[in-house]
Amino acid sequence: MKVRMQITKDPEIRFVSHLDYLRAIERGLRRTDLPVAYSEGFNPHMKFSLASALGVGVVSYAEFVEIEMAEPVSAEEAVEQLRNSLPKGIRILAADVAANNEPALMAKAALTEYEVSVPAGGQDLLDKVTNFNNAKTLIYKKPAPKRREGYKEVDIKRYLDSVEYKRENGNDVFRFEIKIFEDGSLKAVDVLTAMGIDCSMADVRRLGIYRENHGGMLRV
């Protein structure tokens, strides 16, 4: 069986890399007495996985970790033990248990919701947002260092129809949902950069990951 959890990457640890975040969870697990399963061989590793690599600097309230257990454990027990052994900045929001052969949660993921705020400049950005919401296509040269040209052309509108916008406490705040396709998805800053918005001071937060029908990934 495996325990599945929705966990956070809070603002204070946003600059921890994906790999280091993964290891922080692993160490957190080893600090508990949970019967986590290990692989065989010379370099045994804990059997757990974290869906979707989050960019360095991005806050998330929707990371999904799946931990294989060698013996049955209840979700409550797992949460109880792990809660106190994770670093501050990783909180558990929801959990359940599933069979080992249950497909990974992220296999069902269809939408990622983001909130991005940038310090407001002199000008209101409503025009830019309205233009974007009304546009049929928006071609963007997404940075792709591995390609010869250094970028890949994508149509931003394939991934989302509209962006919500408001000005709040001296910030321009954007909220939107990006679709996940089999061939990938977009970063939140890709969307705003394509709209011509300066993202050097952007505070990016992933609010949720949802199924196609907008259902949550896990029960709370």
How many angstroms separate the CA atoms of 43 and 36, rounded? Answer: 16
Task: Report long-range pairs for 186-193 (Cβ below 8 Å, ≥24 apart).
Answer: 186/142, 186/154, 186/156, 186/159, 187/55, 188/58, 188/114, 188/116, 189/116, 190/140, 190/142, 190/154, 190/156, 191/156, 191/159, 191/160, 191/163, 192/116, 192/118, 193/140
Between 27 and 152, name the residue whose CB sits nearer to another protein: 27
Out of 29, 160, 191, 194, the residue judged to bind another protein by CB under 8 A: 29
Q: Rule CB under 8 A: is residue 134 a binding residue for another protein?
A: no
From candidates 6, 21, 157, 172, binder to another protein by CB under 8 A: 21
Task: State yes or no: residue 215 binds another protein (CB under 8 A).
Answer: no
- Interface residue with another protein, options 1, 18, 46, 120 (CB under 8 A): 46
* Distance separating alpha carbons of residues 93 and 220, to the nearest angstrom: 7
Q: Could you tell me the smallest distance in angstroms from the CB atom of residue 29 to another protein?
A: 7
In terms of DSSP bridges, do strands 2-9 and 59-68 run parallel, antiparallel, or are they unpaired? antiparallel
Judged by CB under 8 A, the number of residues near another protein is 33
- Six-digit token string for 29: 């697990």
- The interface region with another protein, picked from 39-47, 102-110, 128-136, 144-152 by CB under 8 A, is 39-47
82-111 residues in contact with another protein (CB under 8 A) are: 85-89
CB of residue 202 to another protein, shortest distance in Å: 7
Cβ distance to another protein smaller for residue 118 or 218: 118
Residue 125: burial class (beta carbons within 10 Å; 0-12, 13-18, 19+): buried
Nearer to another protein, 14 or 157 (CB): 14
* 207 touching another protein, by CB under 8 A: no
Of the candidates 24, 79, 110, 120, which one interacts with another protein according to CB under 8 A? Answer: 24
Q: Shortest gap between Cβ of 84 and another protein (angstroms)?
A: 11
Residues 146-165 that bind another protein (CB under 8 A): none
Instruction: Please state whether beta strands 111-119 and 151-155 pair in parallel, antiparallel, or not at all (unpaired).
Output: unpaired
Q: What does the DSSP 8-state code read for residue 120? A: -
Footprint of another protein on this chain (CB under 8 A)? 12-13, 15-17, 19-21, 23-24, 26-31, 38, 42-46, 56-57, 85-89, 200-203
